[in-house]
Chains A and B, each alone.
Chain A
């Protein structure tokens, strides 16, 4: 076990600390709130020579990712970070990065999408990346963000897929909490040194010229995508492997999902990111009232933990999925559809309901989540009726 120390850090400071310890080769950045502070902290490390990283301050998020693709294909360990509209601007290149099987890390300091403009947290930005074949991990707090970033490097390089580490804008990025920091040597040994041969075909190996980003006609496009499809399903095992390796150095064992009082729960609430603490509080208060309720947090969002979810919900009567983004499609939020899909082969499918909450930084309180559970129970028992699977939890009338 490694030496650790506990320091009071904001989410952005913890992320910057992970970046410093990993000592990425290249970081491409473009400012956008609430990510700006993170790159500001990291720029200080660069300016003071505490890292070897070349930081490239580019002309936009599209270019940030293009820079990362070039650097990572060359053989460098590479990171960028963004939020909200910046993520939206990156999406074209996200497909390119995963299609070319280039490992790299993207920190998404989750922020709402315009319009109306909001710099505050929700998950609409990350939901844009659902189908990009990037591995996606959500963090509940600064501690998890710190751990996830360290693990993400290894996951991405083993899987040969790029990875997103999400943490909630302002709620996590700007809140101070105690964070247990590993020592530098442990982190550097865990991720391993810079080496262009971490990837099979680095551009910088000029004696073995390779072609990256070819055109594929209808005779081959499907085969390329099929390879991507098959390999993306291998990510589950790789993530599990890295979670295990990380437990050995940190003592902290992560799983794809985190369950709270679900053992005997009749009704289960599911959320991602910072609201999980509030959800657990709501569970505790309802338990005090004698309600058998529980909560699940999704940590690994892509690939989606289908089996784990099906297993965890196998005994529940009802499930309320709490989405921090709307899909505007008459079905439900993105997470709701994922959960519903995960249950498609379940024999005793629980009653499913969906609430949209926390948009554009709207604070969420345990009473509101309690209300979500209560509505779920009444619907499941046939006391209430509904017009749609999806409802808004926090609208001012």
Chain B
């Protein structure tokens, strides 16, 4: 791990608007932790979209740090209602757009994209019902979950995205119980089961993949969902400069497969590590989780979950190719990203 470096003064950073991206969709000057993975995710996604966007945000890290009255880091229209409503609120905005276009209030050629950002708490747990319902109704919306595997804004409590064995404030490591007892929920698979046009998993360290996925998503009408792993320096307790390294390890160990699903039935695994690293390497880099290295039975469960899910994805991919062939559909064409 790298040595600690001195931090520039905010006033100094602010005086370099051009250099530091003051015209970015999410501008600098926000209050997110040093090394947080969320800002690059948000900017990678919005910058991949050429037309105007409107963003809705669930309560959480991204929300509390970017719109702090009387200032805002958002250079795009942005709304936050509460923890569980990010999907529903953007559905409301999109519905307004739809009807006002129909009524001629908004010009027919005015293209706007509708984005929602929620953490895993706001997507896997408290906002799950709203997310599922918005998907089911087919609103023309791209929902992005930045998944840091716990309630980080409130000081790290367990969510249903937290992996088995991990320490959180509500699943401490004690004599009777070692961290979280249950494996993580697979929200990406659940969203794919909705049969929506596009579902994907991505990692912020492969920004070209995330950009492509965003472009692909917005090219398809209807509801789209991208789940992005967001290693949390504060709660996972790694050094701030290692965020992307952690994301990379998650993919290289197959802990976080990077894949996409069209219409809930055509699956494609985008990155297949030739020599997958053992899960121990990923776990060892995270003090929140590394105690499980002392518990072979937990470690075994984790590796089993990872292997089984990986295997399932490969089978789904193979099956999709056969399915496409049966249906006379060009499998590769399905995943092509249209030109801008």
Contact = CB atoms under 8 A, between A and B. Distances in A.
Contacts of A203: 54, 77, 79, 93
A201 to B, nearest CB: 9
Given A58-B133, A209-B77, A215-B69, A92 B96 contact: no
A93 interface: yes
Q: Is the interface of B mostly helix, strand, loop or mixed?
A: mixed
A52 interface: yes
Taking residues whose C-beta sits less than 8 angstroms from the other chain, chain A's interface range is: 35 or more
B54 A25 contact: no
A211 B67 contact: yes
Contact of A69 (B74, B84, B92, B129): B92
B91 interface: yes
B130 interface: yes
B303 interface: no
Contacts, number: 164
A74 B92 contact: yes
A96 B76 CA distance: 21
B69 A76 contact: no
Contact of B105 (A68, A194, A213, A220): A194
Nearest to B111: A206
B80 interface: yes
Nearest to A219: B69
Contacts of B57: 213
A59 interface: yes
B76 A209 contact: yes
A76 B81 contact: no
A25 B81 contact: no
Contacts of B105: 75, 194-196
B137 interface: yes
A78 B67 CA distance: 25
B56 interface: yes
B96 A204 contact: yes
Q: Which 6 A-B pairs have the closest CB atoms?
A: A70-B92, A59-B133, A76-B96, A74-B96, A213-B80, A66-B85
Interface of A: 25-26, 28, 52-54, 56-60, 62-63, 66-76, 78, 92-93, 96, 194-196, 203-207, 209-217, 220, 224
Interface of B: 52-54, 56-57, 63-64, 67-70, 72, 74-82, 84-85, 88-100, 102-103, 105-106, 112, 129-130, 132-133, 137
